[in-house]
């Protein structure tokens, strides 16, 4: 595979220049398959799957479509477990533990999200996915070389021009310019200073000017006008996440769907309370009262372990007070339809207009 | 004047759908005149001018051009002077006062920036400017009615959909959708929660969908692609500020110009340290060490008084460490040319392609 795949209206081998953003926890192979069949590129988020689950999902995708798809991994450094940090984090959460009768001693240490590894690569290799995308930079060089040896196109997210330059220098085939409007985890990896984060309208043209590889626009895009505006600003393709959250084939929970359809969906914030890393969620009780940014938060991804206990209890009572309600700053593109209908509406009268 | 002026490629009576953003402290009538003569709408920022200065500037503009221009006012509530807040703010600044040999007792209370008032209206009324724009909401209803009685078109900035709806309900003729990429003061007035602030790419289409009045896009726009993208997202016109900062006719200081041309210009932050209200500036020593957001800051606009003392001392030594280096998140459009050359380059091959 080579860069020619990005040109001439054929984007990475798909008909339409759109990637469905990988969204761990709210979608699996069903959405990937539906997007691929509609002519876009579906993405399987693997950060919260174990090797067997990854194999099972990839098998389903391969048996359902021959179109190219994307497999996405986090590539953070797994932290050492720090008992003192854990104690401080539990202490922050103590009032709500009490409210939900959770004994913090009963919470077993867990990892939450797995970084990409050779063990996972063993499972993925036989599938030789057309595209592999990473979040939080890139895996170490031998792992990256291994992915490239399969012929997979490698993408990763940049939230600043510096990150885009770093990714290009380290061998990516394309860069996802993640504007700060985007829902879910910020892909930032060279800085943890949130003031470095830039809106899509400003970030996209600056990255386009700075690198030679194709740039995929992400953050705030959900309709045909957004598609056209992103291409006008120099994007080769778009990545959309939030717009797919209400689709039939997404696994978005009923509570999450209700939040997305509610008035509160217009107010999201970048928060570290759900995982330990900054991510954009609708502002709920957890974001408001524990965050949005808590200095005592346990390291990513360990913070999620205790939060998940609260989430389970709250959700059992029909409340999304402690659920990570991932969402971008523009829910205008969300529709309760199939992924095919959503994609076709966006590209309907646009394909001809794009040069 | 009526809304018809917004239609048929005639924007508020000007040839080109571009407003030069009012930028108090870095530009006066020279830039207004140059922009008007080039076919755009120049804006005179009046927040830091007294009545006589306003009269003098408006007289210059009127004698130089018959094209429509915009006069801009802040319409904050002037705060009561709080001695205890002042003491706390001076205490925050004490280390730098010491460094620059400033005796905080010598700092005279001042106001810094004036809100629009009947006294100012008396001075402006004879000029009957085609457009009057406000920042931080709208003035009280009798003042607003007075401005409208002159025949002036009234614009104001919205940073959220709620603010856009409020402005429309309160009688504006057009709304400036100020995305969080924009430089200078955030126009926010219904909330002081910075998580409510939205990127241009997301804010613009949501405001366009929510109101009937024309929407002017601001934040991150600096070239012809930005213009086209903004119009694609539903804007009637664009407002550009940062792109004009290096123009010959701007009064931008040499230190500010140097900062805009430097590598550091790619890192700005929303900070309250310069005035007491959140505003986007290049990250310098003051933003880094006192801010970006300081909880002990004196009320807007009083915080500027003490900061101005530090600024004067630092600037006298050739340093912009304490200067408000207003700047948006995209300096890609800045050029050291006349405003005419800047504007013509943006519209050169675009005017025919629009619509």
User: Which of the two residues, B78 and B289, has the higher pLDDT score?
Assistant: B289
Q: What is the pLDDT of residue B350?
A: 52
Residues 235-294 in A contacting B (C-alpha not used; CB under 8 Å): 266-270, 283, 292
Q: What is the pLDDT of residue A1?
A: 29
Long-range contacts of range A256-259, CB-CB < 8 Å, 24 or more positions apart?
A256/A26, A256/A320, A256/A323, A256/A325, A256/A326, A258/A320, A259/A284, A259/A320, A259/A323, A259/A325, A259/A327
**Residue B109 banded pLDDT, cuts 50, 70, 90:** confident
Examine the pLDDT at B349 and tell me if it is beyond 90. no
Residues of chain B with CATH 3.20.20.70: 1-76+113-249+338-355
Length of chain B equals 355
Tell me how far CA of residue A314 lies from CA of A96, A181, A325, B3, B110, in angstroms.
Answer: 10, 27, 13, 51, 52
User: Which of A200, A206, A270 is closest, CB to CB, to B201?
Assistant: A200
Residues on chain A touching B223 (C-beta within 8 angstroms):
205
What's the rounded mean pLDDT across residues B69-92? 95
Interface touch A201/B198, C-beta < 8 Å? no
CATH of domain A12-76+113-249+338-355: 3.20.20.70
**pLDDT > 90 fraction of chain B, expressed in percent and rounded:** 91
pLDDT in tens, B329-338: 999 999 999 9
Interface touch A203/B329, C-beta < 8 Å? yes
Q: How many CA atoms lie within 13 A of A210 on its CB side?
A: 21
Q: What is the pLDDT of residue B5?
A: 38
Q: Split chain A (355 residues) into runs of 10 and give each run's mean pLDDT.
A: 42 88 97 97 96 97 97 94 95 97 89 89 97 98 97 97 98 97 98 97 98 97 96 97 98 98 97 98 98 97 96 98 98 97 87 47
Residues on chain B touching A233 (C-beta within 8 angstroms):
225-226, 229
pLDDT in tens, A64-106: 999 999 999 999 999 999 999 999 999 999 999 999 999 999 9
Superfamily of domain B1-76+113-249+338-355, CATH level 4 = Aldolase class I (3.20.20.70)
- Exposure string over A68-89, b if 16+ CB within 10 A, otherwise e: bbbbbbbbbebeeeeeebbeeb
**Residue B326 banded pLDDT, cuts 50, 70, 90:** very high
Distance from CA of B146 to the nearest CA of A (A): 35
What's the rounded mean pLDDT across residues B55-65? 98
Provide the sign of the torsion angle of the four alpha carbons B135, B139, B143, B149, taken in this order: positive
What's the rounded mean pLDDT across residues B285-292? 98
CA distance A189 to A352: 38
Residue in chain B lying closest to A234 (CA): B225
Residue in chain A lying closest to B234 (CA): A225
Residue in chain B lying closest to A195 (CA): B269
Give chain B as a 3 state SS string. Answer: CCHHHHCCCCECCECCCEEECCCCCCCCHHHHHHHHHCCCECEEECCCCCHHHHHHHHHHHHHHCCCCCEEEEECCCCCCCCHHHHHHHHHHHHHHHHHCCCCHHHCCCCCCCCECCHHHHHHHHHHCCCEEEEECCCCCHHHHHHHHHCCCEEEEEECCHHHHHHHHHCCCCEEEEECCCCCEECCCCCCCCHHHCCCHHHHHHHHHHHCCCCEEEECCCCCHHHHHHHHHCCCCEEEECHHHCCCCCCCCCHHHHHHHHCHHHHCEEEECCCCCCCEEEECCHHHHHHCCCCCCCCCCCCHHHHHHHHHHHHHHCCCCCCCCCECCCCHHHCCCCCHHHHHHHHHCCCCCCCC
State yes or no: ipTM above 0.90: yes
Q: What is the pLDDT of residue B2?
A: 33
Return the number of CB contacts < 8 Å for A and B. Answer: 115
Rounded to 5°, the CA angle B31-B263-B135 comes to 40
Q: What is the pLDDT of residue A102?
A: 96
Q: What is the pLDDT of residue A4?
A: 40
Residues on chain B touching A330 (C-beta within 8 angstroms):
198, 201-202, 205-206
Q: Do A293 and A227 contact (CB within 8 A), yes or no?
A: no
Interface touch B200/A201, C-beta < 8 Å? yes
pLDDT in tens, A129-175: 999 999 999 999 999 999 999 999 999 999 999 999 999 999 999 99
Residues of chain A with CATH 3.20.20.70: 12-76+113-249+338-355
Q: What is the pLDDT of residue B4?
A: 40
Interface touch B200/A196, C-beta < 8 Å? no
Tell me how far CA of residue A308 lies from CA of A112, A313, A323, B45, B335, in angstroms.
Answer: 9, 9, 8, 51, 51
Pick from B239, B240, B252, B254: nearest CA to B315: B254
Tell me the average pLDDT of chain B. 94
Rounded to 5°, the CA angle B291-B293-B296 comes to 90
Q: How many CA atoms lie within 13 A of B129 on its CB side?
A: 28
Residues on chain B touching A332 (C-beta within 8 angstroms):
205-206, 209
Rounded to 5°, the CA angle B145-B44-B127 comes to 50
Q: Do B132 and B152 contact (CB within 8 A), yes or no?
A: yes
**Residue B15 banded pLDDT, cuts 50, 70, 90:** confident
Distance from CA of B121 to the nearest CA of A (A): 37
Interface contact B328, partner A, CB < 8 A:
yes
What's the rounded mean pLDDT across residues B192-216? 97
Residues on chain B touching A210 (C-beta within 8 angstroms):
none
């Amino acid at each position: 595979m080579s860069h020619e795949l990005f040109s001439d209206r054929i984007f990475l081998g798909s008909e339409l220049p759109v990637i469905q953003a990988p969204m761990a926890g709210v979608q699996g192979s069903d959405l990937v398959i539906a997007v691929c069949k509609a002519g876009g590129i579906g993405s399987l988020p693997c950060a919260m799957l174990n090797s067997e689950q990854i194999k099972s999902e990839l098998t389903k995708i391969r048996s359902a479509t021959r179109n190219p798809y994307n497999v996405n991994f986090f590539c953070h450094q797994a932290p050492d477990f720090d008992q003192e940090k854990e104690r401080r984090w539990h202490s922050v959460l103590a009032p709500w533990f009490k409210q939900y009768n959770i004994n913090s001693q009963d919470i077993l240490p867990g990892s939450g999200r797995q970084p990409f590894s050779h063990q996972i690569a063993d499972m993925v290799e036989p599938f030789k996915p057309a595209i592999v995308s990473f979040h939080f930079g890139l895996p170490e060089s031998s792992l990256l070389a291994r992915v490239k040896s399969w012929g997979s196109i490698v993408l990763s997210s940049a939230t600043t021009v510096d990150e885009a330059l770093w990714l290009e220098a380290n061998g990516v085939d394309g860069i996802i310019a993640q504007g700060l409007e985007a829902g879910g985890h910020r892909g930032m990896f060279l800085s943890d200073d949130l003031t470095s984060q830039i809106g899509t309208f400003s970030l996209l043209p600056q990255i386009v000017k700075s690198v030679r590889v194709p740039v995929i626009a992400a953050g705030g895009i959900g309709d045909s006008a957004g598609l056209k505006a992103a291409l006008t600003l120099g994007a080769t393709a778009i990545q959309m996440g939030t717009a797919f959250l209400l689709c039939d084939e997404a696994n978005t929970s009923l509570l999450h769907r209700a939040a997305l359809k509610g008035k509160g969906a217009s107010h999201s914030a970048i928060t570290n309370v759900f995982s330990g890393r900054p991510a954009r969620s609708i502002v709920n009780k957890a974001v408001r009262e524990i965050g949005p940014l808590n200095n005592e938060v346990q390291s990513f991804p360990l913070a999620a372990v205790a939060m998940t206990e609260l989430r389970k209890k709250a959700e059992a009572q029909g409340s999304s007070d402690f659920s990570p309600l991932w969402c971008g700053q523009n829910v205008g593109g969300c529709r309760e339809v199939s992924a095919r209908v959503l994609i076709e509406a966006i590209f309907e009268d646009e394909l001809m207009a794009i040069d």
